A and B are shown apart, each in its own frame.
Chain A
């Protein structure tokens, strides 16, 4: 291994990358776009708004008060439904997944319930819903909670049982906090693997590899230069993801000494895997196919987009064989849970993996014979 040769190769690789604007865009902008899109879709705003159609057949002062209470915390935005239409038909025609119907005798029934001499009675609030809609369950749950609260307030006494939430996390933890470390790990993996494979196929196809084989560059020189190159891209890409996440979603993540360490270990692991896969990807076309065959299962099964715990048990065991799983675990342990022993454990597994892959990558002594 010669530092001079490594520096020369690193310089050429960085120049090529800087001059190829489309590669630069995909490397840096793509993960940022993912963060923006998924963050916007899945991060619940402070005040969640749902549309609720209400057909108020009673049109009384008490029904108006009830609706006022329903909209007080701005969870629901009420759309009035004309009283002369059928609620079911209205829901179908206007594609409303939930229509609440307040009965005509709402005021009378409420009055009878409140009157100690009135005997047991209740006010039926019918809701017409579309079970095929995905968001309707949440809306019904919210509505039930509100009705229960309203019931309890009417009786005037404090509730007997009360749930008190207490988070195991020091700070508020939203989807975006879960998502950002996953995207960092994914962006680095994608860039390392596909760059290693595409670069190699390109060098091979063009015949540059044949020239390099007649120079003093060794396989180890090349591998180390590739790793340094990917490390630089990874640092820039991670910084871009973090800046956008802080600016747009105000994420609360812990950024300490673990983060750079995890980046280094991940880069070594995935550039090494890329090197080992090059014999299967001699042409540019097969290079991206081979890269994707590895990237996609890894991306979906290692807990990048959703927690591994959501998957069936056998897939969870499978995930524990994937290097990206440990990178995700390490990043989340370090950035969200600030749990040093857990971070160390996952970094350790990744580091052992990286060392094995690196050794295997340099062990193939003659990288030129295959040309």
Chain B
């Protein structure tokens, strides 16, 4: 039975479309109060999984419980206690921000403080702007506000920053941090690794319908990412032998650079000194710390170039 510490329990969930296993026997749990980031390439089964948890789609088999309630049996109750920002959120074109929020509040039958919601999402100045006049970032913020009208215990945000410019993205992140501080459980799907790294307590990566990794961003990086990498740009190929002799494993890259995995920053200094001693010119260099993006690319396959996006319809 679902632990009360768990906001979401997914148990052996499968979704098949004909012979395609969009979601293939996955299980995981989301703790109350955490920000859970669900990552995966397009077509990996990400959106299907989320939509089953949100009660929009039916599972082929397996169980999903939200706040201890079976989503297949208690749809109405689950819907009342969660808030959803769907992918590409949209509202009625000629309805203003304030009217939209009032509408969703009435639909949920709750006395939402529309002004407070607009303050939280920084929409006060746009209260009387119609939806079709809003920019992408404002639309997403309205979507988040609309997901909060029923004061939900779990908030689902499906790609909240896709298609936004860097400023708009940071504004949405600020809103998400606010949600986290209020103790909401947030289920976030995203294509942006920095977003997951910045906001998430737990990251799950799905690939071809299966969960391939689940842990905190720091531990995932520690476990799966390469070490710190030093890249020497446009350098004489002679450096390759020189560095190999030092006990490192340099690899030439297609751009004519040399890439060297290193254990610590001191190794960088040693290598650079050696290069200088040998009298080789060094036009540029780059030192990169391990990050979630590498983990993601390593654990998920090359993006399948079959035009699939957003999963089966």
Contacts and interface: CB of A to CB of B under 8 A. Distances in A.
B106 A7 contact: yes
Contacts of A8: 103, 106-107
B109 A4 contact: yes
Contacts of B55: 213-214
A158 B20 CA distance: 93
A64 B115 CA distance: 89
A16 B93 contact: yes
B109 A211 contact: no
A217 B92 CA distance: 16
Interface stretch (B79-87, B121-129, B207-215, B240-248): B79-87
A16 B94 contact: yes
Contacts of A216: 76, 79-80, 107-109
A364 to B, nearest CB: 14
A208 B90 contact: yes
B107 A208 contact: no
B58 interface: yes
Nearest to A368: B56
A211 B84 contact: yes
Nearest to A208: B90
A295 to B, nearest CB: 25
B79 A214 contact: yes
Contacts of B106: 4-5, 7-8
Interface in A183-214: 206-208, 210-211, 213-214
How big is chain A's contact interface, by range?
20 to 34
B173 interface: no
Contacts, number: 72
30 contacts: A4-B106, A4-B109, A5-B109, A7-B106, A9-B107, A11-B103, A12-B92, A12-B99, A12-B103, A15-B95, A15-B99, A16-B93, A16-B94, A20-B94, A206-B90, A207-B87, A208-B91, A208-B92, A210-B56, A211-B89, A211-B143, A211-B146, A213-B55, A213-B56, A214-B79, A214-B82, A215-B107, A216-B80, A368-B56, A369-B57
A210 B94 contact: no
Given A12-B95, A15-B95, A15-B99, A214 B107 contact: no
A20 B94 CA distance: 8
Q: Which 6 A-B pairs rank lowest in CB-CB distance, beginning with the nearest?
A: A8-B106, A214-B84, A19-B94, A206-B90, A210-B86, A207-B90
Nearest to A213: B56
B88 interface: yes
Contacts of B109: 2, 4-5, 216
Contacts of B103: 8, 11-12
Given A211-B84, A369-B57, A217 B107 contact: yes
B80 A214 contact: no
Interface in B133-158: 143, 146
B266 to A, nearest CB: 52
Interface in B261-287: none
A371 interface: yes
A363 to B, nearest CB: 17
A12 B98 CA distance: 12
Contacts of A9: 107
A217 B103 CA distance: 12
Nearest to A8: B106
B88 A207 contact: yes
A19 B57 CA distance: 34
A14 to B, nearest CB: 11
Contacts of B54: 214
Contacts of B93: 16
A330 B84 CA distance: 47
Contacts of A210: 56, 86-87
Contact of A371 (B56, B80, B107, B146): B56
A139 B57 CA distance: 70
